[in-house]
Amino acid sequence: MSTHPEDREEGFIWLDGSLRPRSDASLPVLSHGLHYASTVFEGERAYRGAIFRSTEHSERLLRSARLLDFEIPYDAAALDAAKRAVVSANGFKSCYIRPIAWRGGETMAVAARQSSIHVAIAAWDWPSMFDVSEKMKGVRLDIAEYRRPDPRTAPCHAKASGLYMICTISKHAAERKGYADAMMLDWRGFVAECTGANIMFARDGVLHTPIADCFLDGITRRAIIDLARRRGIEVAERHIPPEELSGFDECFLCGTGAEVTPVSEIGPYRFMPGQVSRLLMEDYARLVNGG
């Protein structure tokens, strides 16, 4: 059976307060969220029945909506409970969870302060990949042409659908060239992140990662920083010019979907997945599995 969510007909989606059969959970074409990208979302994973950092994700969804000037009509506890209900109604133990909130269609114009706010939560299979030996081969990344925008030009700390337009274009371009993904620079030209994950580097046992001042400060990124510090690994959050990439030994992506994914190549730069990536991959696997 396909694991693609769009190929699945069965199962349940939580929509505006109740669980519905998937086929009944649909959205009117005239929705502000669709036409004007007044849409925010989350990506989460459940491991062995427990949603990793569920409340942090719920709180980020609420904050993302406020950054887009709308208020979600549920609090974090209600969202947490709804996510648990979706996981269990679909019979999952480990899965990916996708909460999404958007403006409805009462006003089909730019200004829409009085619009209704909708929330849906879906879940689907997305196998976790902690096969260390396979992952240690590393993935190959291109360097994207688009850059993460200046905070003065977009609500860059929101996990907002509109901000993913340049991610999709950049990832498609990378895939067409045979790469797995693309690393994006920020508006100043510093290393930022990938199209759906944060990025970290290691050199001489020190972990280096860009300051999340114009892109998503991932929940996984913060977890990895904590895990590294607990291991006594020094963590340097700083601006990283791309020319510095030639001096790093290791590189890996981190995010809910990517978990910890070592990188072997970014454009002209080469890395050798090694001890720091391996240790943090193992620590993260233990953490999400309740260890």
If binding is defined by CB under 6 A, does position 219 make contact with ligand PMP? yes
159 as an active site residue: the answer is yes
If binding is defined by CB under 6 A, does position 221 make contact with ligand PMP? yes
Beta carbon nearer to ligand PMP, 116 or 289 = 289
If binding is defined by CB under 6 A, does position 216 make contact with ligand PMP? yes
**CB neighbours (10 Å) of residue 69?**
11
Beta carbon nearer to ligand PMP, 87 or 112 = 87
Among 142, 186, 193, 250, the residue binding ligand PMP under the rule CB under 6 A is 193
Catalytic entry in 83, 93, 135, 159: 159
Give the CA diameter of the chain.
Answer: 57
Stretch near ligand PMP under the rule CB under 6 A, chosen from 86-94, 168-176, 216-224, 232-240: 216-224
The answer to whether 82 and 75 have CB atoms below 8 angstroms apart is no
Stretch near ligand PMP under the rule CB under 6 A, chosen from 23-31, 99-107, 130-138, 218-226: 218-226
Instruction: For the segment 34-63, give every residue that binds ligand PMP (CB under 6 A).
Output: 43
Which structure tokens are listed for 176? 């067409």
> Alpha-carbon distance 228 to 156, whole Å?
26
Beta carbon nearer to ligand PMP, 115 or 170 = 170
Provide the b/e sequence for 275-284 (b: ≥16 CB within 10 Å). ebbbbbbebb
Among 90, 161, 220, 277, the residue binding ligand PMP under the rule CB under 6 A is 220
Minimum Å distance from CB 44 to ligand PMP? Answer: 8
Instruction: For the segment 243-262, give every residue that binds ligand PMP (CB under 6 A).
Output: 255-256
> Tokens 């274009």 correspond to what residue?
169
Nearest to 284 by CA among 228, 215, 246: 228
Pairing mode, if any, of strands 50-51 and 117-124? unpaired
Cα 41 to chain center, whole Å? 9
DSSP 150: P
If binding is defined by CB under 6 A, does position 135 make contact with ligand PMP? no
If binding is defined by CB under 6 A, does position 218 make contact with ligand PMP? yes
Minimum Å distance from CB 42 to ligand PMP? Answer: 8
If binding is defined by CB under 6 A, does position 227 make contact with ligand PMP? no
State which H helix or E strand residue 79 sits in: helix 76-89
Beta carbon nearer to ligand PMP, 33 or 196 = 196
Residue 184: beta bridge partners?
193
If binding is defined by CB under 6 A, does position 104 make contact with ligand PMP? no
Beta carbon nearer to ligand PMP, 19 or 214 = 214
Give CA separation, 142 vs 135, 146, 271, in Å: 18, 12, 14
State which H helix or E strand residue 156 sits in: none
Give the residues lining the site for ligand PMP (CB under 6 A): 43, 193, 196-198, 216, 218-221, 255-256
